[in-house]
């Protein structure tokens, strides 16, 4: 269905109730900032977005696995060379372990270059004896309790921090950072557990041998390292490997300002050979061949992938209205309050034409609740015939407060939701297509991994949590704990 025919415009969400709305005291200043953002260039391009749609259709068909990962929220202060390379390094290490075990390409989407806004369970919070507005992320207000009034200028600052981040990610990935010849550059030096280091080194040595072999038989002419990543060759979107950006599409004012009309790229020349193989002809290629002006569609040009949070997915709400009109692939968080028939109605709204690669369902029930909900959700979607990718977010249903008052998650509980998810999909004749994790390769100033989640092979104890707790939002798995998850998945899928 044509979006305009269905009464959609980039601003049609304004007539619907928006959950988690931010109230700006200075509306004029907000409009001025939004008008400025409207004139700034896109951060990502339609061809890149189309390529991700194609990749996600492969994920849906179980031909690739999706890794969606990064911080709960980025901060302006954490936009540094060290932090960005540590994030990309961890995503690359994680995906390498998965590719090695599962022998499947991995599609990497970072929660990066725009993941600033946060939904909150309460609009205000008590700090000392004061009741102040809750912190809503660096693009809205400050963490400092004296800086909680929403300031529109922060939206502009978020645009430029996203740009700086993305520019550096593109630079890293086109300068050989992802080369399999240097996986140790991705920072393994601080890993405490010798067993974990050895296991990772065994994989990289095995890969080096495999690369030498393919080169010897003349198979890796356009870059042997790329070949083993993509299993089909070709340059990725952000350099040597495919890498995509994402954030929660929460602040609709700014999402609207970054929404631009473009024809669907008529040629797939901008996508690599591997993407071309199965890509269908684009609508604009069809139109051109019939002598018509190509039809324009709306892309959100601030990220390749955006998702609707568990708190903003109301069927008649503003977020669902906005998301139904954009051409980007989208995610929908599915928590324990989602009804089985509600998922299908949501899919009917956001993907009426049942386009492959369009919708990713990110389930996040909690280890104690997944048994109650997942099977019925899978069965309902199967019966509807909607194509979706199923991703397990084993983080958001498993948050707890430690005895010292820190927000944390237990590694064992995360694994318990993940393994239940794998099992329930198998029991329902379905497949888990990916994971969504909050993790970080970030190190503390003294060079150690952060201490935000309990357990893992490093057996992080409750009394160690306070040592290097750096998240100002949800607790993230550190480098070692993330590799533990990667090995678990890799061993599960080993063929
Ligand atoms: C998140 O992904 O950081 C988040 C807030 O998730 P959810 O909407 O699932 O609670
Ligand atoms: Mn989070």
Q: Which ligand is nearest to the CA of 409?
A: 2
| Residue 53, ligand 1, Cβ within 6 A | no
- Ligand 1 center–CA 109 separation, angstroms: 16
- Look at 485 and 215; give whichever has higher pLDDT: 485
Chain centroid, CA 325 distance in Å: 20
**Which residues have C-beta under 5 Å from ligand 2, the single-atom ion?**
72, 474
- Ligand 1 center–CA 334 separation, angstroms: 10
- Ligand 1 center–CA 396 separation, angstroms: 6
CA angle 70, 92, 48 (to 5 degrees): 75
Task: Summarize pLDDT for 263-316 with one digit per residue, the tens.
Answer: 999 754 334 433 323 334 455 655 666 667 788 999 999 999 999 999 999 999
- Spatial separation of the C-alpha atoms in residues 180 and 178, rounded to whole Å: 6
Identify whether the C-beta of residue 66 lies closer than 8 Å to the C-beta of residue 362: no
- Spatial separation of the C-alpha atoms in residues 366 and 377, rounded to whole Å: 15
pLDDT computed for residue 444 by the predictor: 85
- Ligand 2 center–CA 133 separation, angstroms: 19
pLDDT computed for residue 202 by the predictor: 80
**Between the CA of residue 3 and those of 54, 244, 314, 372, 486, what are the distances in Å?**
20, 25, 20, 36, 40
Residue with tokens 């890794």: 67
Q: Which of 141-150, 151-160, 211-220 has the lowest mean pLDDT?
A: 211-220
Q: Which of 72-86, 168-182, 346-360 has the lowest mean pLDDT?
A: 168-182
Give the percent of the chain with pLDDT over 70.
Answer: 85
- Write the CB contacts of 5 (distance below 8 Å, at least 6 apart in sequence): none
pLDDT computed for residue 234 by the predictor: 45
- Ligand 1 center–CA 40 separation, angstroms: 28
| Residue 333, ligand 1, Cβ within 6 A | yes
Beta bridge partners, 334, equal 363
- Ligand 1 center–CA 475 separation, angstroms: 12
Q: Which ligand is nearest to the CA of 306?
A: 1
Q: Which ligand is nearest to the CA of 118?
A: 1
- Identify the burial level of 294 via C-beta atoms within 10 angstroms of its C-beta, where 0-12 means exposed, 13-18 middle and 19 or more buried: middle
- Spatial separation of the C-alpha atoms in residues 348 and 354, rounded to whole Å: 8
pLDDT of residue 254 exceeding 60, the answer is yes
Average pLDDT over every residue of 367-377: 98
- Write the CB contacts of 90 (distance below 8 Å, at least 6 apart in sequence): 69, 186, 187, 439, 440, 441, 479, 482
Residue located nearest, by CA, to atom 2 of ligand 1? 72
Q: Which helix (H) or strand (E) holds 132?
A: strand 130-133
pLDDT computed for residue 274 by the predictor: 32
pLDDT of residue 433 exceeding 50, the answer is yes
Atom number of ligand 1 nearest to Cα 309:
8
- Write the CB contacts of 269 (distance below 8 Å, at least 6 apart in sequence): none
DSSP tag of 400: E
| Residue 310, ligand 1, Cβ within 6 A | yes
Beta bridge partners, 245, equal 110
CB atoms inside a 10 Å sphere around CB 459: 11
Average pLDDT over every residue of 160-169: 98
Identify whether the C-beta of residue 449 lies closer than 8 Å to the C-beta of residue 469: no
Q: Which ligand is nearest to the CA of 247?
A: 1
Q: Indicate the Cα dihedral angle 288, 289, 290, 292, nearest 10°.
A: 10
pLDDT computed for residue 250 by the predictor: 98
Parallel, antiparallel, or unpaired for β 259-263 and 330-334? unpaired
- Spatial separation of the C-alpha atoms in residues 477 and 151, rounded to whole Å: 31
pLDDT of residue 65 exceeding 60, the answer is yes
- Look at 200 and 253; give whichever has higher pLDDT: 253
**Between the CA of residue 208 and those of 180, 201, 204, 214, what are the distances in Å?**
7, 10, 6, 10
Q: Which helix (H) or strand (E) holds 334?
A: strand 330-334
| Residue 476, ligand 1, Cβ within 6 A | no
- Spatial separation of the C-alpha atoms in residues 312 and 20, rounded to whole Å: 7
DSSP tag of 275: H
CB atoms inside a 10 Å sphere around CB 283: 16
Closest CA to 130 of 150, 146, 149, 151: 146
Closest CA to 135 of 145, 248, 79, 71: 145
- Spatial separation of the C-alpha atoms in residues 376 and 342, rounded to whole Å: 12
Q: Which of 305, 333, 373, 472 gets mutated to test ligand 1 (max ligand atoms within 8 A of its CB)?
A: 333
Identify whether the C-beta of residue 138 lies closer than 8 Å to the C-beta of residue 154: yes
pLDDT computed for residue 72 by the predictor: 96
Average pLDDT over every residue of 408-415: 96
pLDDT computed for residue 294 by the predictor: 82
pLDDT computed for residue 425 by the predictor: 98
Residue 343 has which token pair? 């998922």
- Spatial separation of the C-alpha atoms in residues 268 and 442, rounded to whole Å: 37
- Look at 202 and 382; give whichever has higher pLDDT: 382
Average pLDDT over every residue of 235-258: 86
pLDDT computed for residue 271 by the predictor: 43
- Look at 267 and 9; give whichever has higher pLDDT: 9
Q: Which of 88-102, 304-318, 374-388, 405-419 has the lowest mean pLDDT?
A: 88-102
| Residue 74, ligand 1, Cβ within 6 A | no
pTM of the model: 0.91
- Ligand 1 center–CA 201 separation, angstroms: 34
- Ligand 1 center–CA 470 separation, angstroms: 19
- Ligand 2 center–CA 457 separation, angstroms: 23
Chain centroid, CA 213 distance in Å: 34
pLDDT computed for residue 226 by the predictor: 39
* ipTM beyond cut 0.95: yes
pLDDT computed for residue 279 by the predictor: 39
| Residue 364, ligand 1, Cβ within 6 A | yes
Task: Summarize pLDDT for 67-87 with one digit per residue, the tens.
Answer: 999 999 999 999 999 999 999
pLDDT computed for residue 79 by the predictor: 97
Burial state string for 169-187 with b = 16 or more CB within 10 A and e = fewer than 16: beebbeeebbbbeebeebb
Task: Summarize pLDDT for 19-62 with one digit per residue, the tens.
Answer: 999 999 999 999 999 999 999 999 999 999 999 999 999 999 99
Q: Which of 111, 309, 474 gets mutated to test ligand 1 (max ligand atoms within 8 A of its CB)?
A: 309
Task: Summarize pLDDT for 111-131 with one digit per residue, the tens.
Answer: 999 999 999 999 999 999 999
Atom number of ligand 1 nearest to Cα 118:
5
């Amino acid at each position: 269905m044509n979006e305009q025919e269905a009464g959609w415009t980039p601003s049609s969400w304004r007539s619907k109730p928006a959950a988690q709305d931010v109230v700006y005291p200075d509306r004029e200043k907000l409009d001025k900032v939004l008008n400025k953002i409207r004139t700034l260039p896109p951060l990502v391009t339609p061809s890149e977005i189309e390529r991700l749609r194609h990749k996600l259709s492969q994920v849906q068909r179980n031909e690739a696995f999706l890794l969606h990962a990064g911080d709960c929220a980025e901060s302006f202060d954490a936009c540094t060379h060290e932090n960005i390379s540590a994030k990309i390094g961890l995503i690359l290490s994680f995906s390498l372990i998965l590719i090695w075990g599962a022998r499947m390409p991995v599609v990497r989407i970072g929660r990066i270059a725009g993941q600033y806004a946060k939904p909150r369970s309460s609009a205000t919070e008590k700090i000392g004896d004061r009741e102040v507005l809750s912190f809503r992320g660096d693009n809205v207000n400050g963490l400092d309790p004296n800086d909680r009034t929403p300031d529109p200028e922060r939206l502009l600052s978020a645009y430029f921090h996203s740009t700086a981040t993305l520019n550096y990610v593109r630079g890293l990935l086109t300068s050989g950072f992802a080369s399999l010849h240097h996986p140790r550059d991705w920072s393994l030096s601080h890993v405490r557990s010798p067993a974990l280091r050895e296991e990772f080194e065994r994989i990289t040595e095995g890969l080096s041998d495999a690369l030498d072999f393919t080169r010897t038989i003349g198979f890796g002419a356009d870059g042997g390292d790329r070949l083993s990543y993509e299993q089909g060759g070709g340059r990725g979107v952000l350099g040597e490997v495919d890498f995509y950006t994402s954030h929660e599409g929460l602040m609709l004012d700014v999402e609207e300002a970054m929404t631009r009309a473009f024809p669907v790229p008529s040629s797939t020349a901008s996508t690599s050979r591997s993407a071309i193989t199965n890509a269908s002809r684009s609508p604009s290629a069809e139109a051109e061949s019939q002598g018509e002006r190509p039809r324009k569609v709306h892309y959100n040009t601030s990220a390749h992938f955006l998702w609707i949070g568990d708190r903003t997915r109301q069927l008649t709400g503003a977020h669902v209205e906005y998301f139904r009109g954009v051409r980007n692939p989208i995610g929908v968080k599915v928590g324990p309050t989602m009804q089985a028939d509600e998922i299908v109605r949501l899919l009917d709204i956001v993907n009426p034409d049942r386009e492959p690669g369009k919708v990713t369902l990110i389930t996040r029930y909690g280890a104690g609740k997944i048994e109650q909900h997942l099977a019925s959700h899978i069965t309902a979607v199967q019966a509807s015939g909607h194509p979706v990718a199923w991703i397990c977010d084993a983080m958001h249903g498993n948050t707890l407060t430690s005895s010292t008052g820190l927000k944390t998650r237990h590694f064992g509980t995360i694994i318990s939701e993940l393994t239940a998810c794998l099992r329930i999909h198998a029991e329902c004749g379905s497949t888990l297509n990916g994971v969504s994790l909050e993790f970080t390769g970030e190190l503390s100033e003294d060079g150690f991994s952060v201490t935000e989640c309990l357990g893992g092979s490093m057996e992080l104890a409750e009394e160690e949590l306070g040592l290097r707790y750096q998240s100002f939002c949800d607790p993230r798995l550190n480098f070692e704990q993330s590799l533990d998850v990667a090995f678990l998945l890799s061993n599960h899928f080993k063929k």
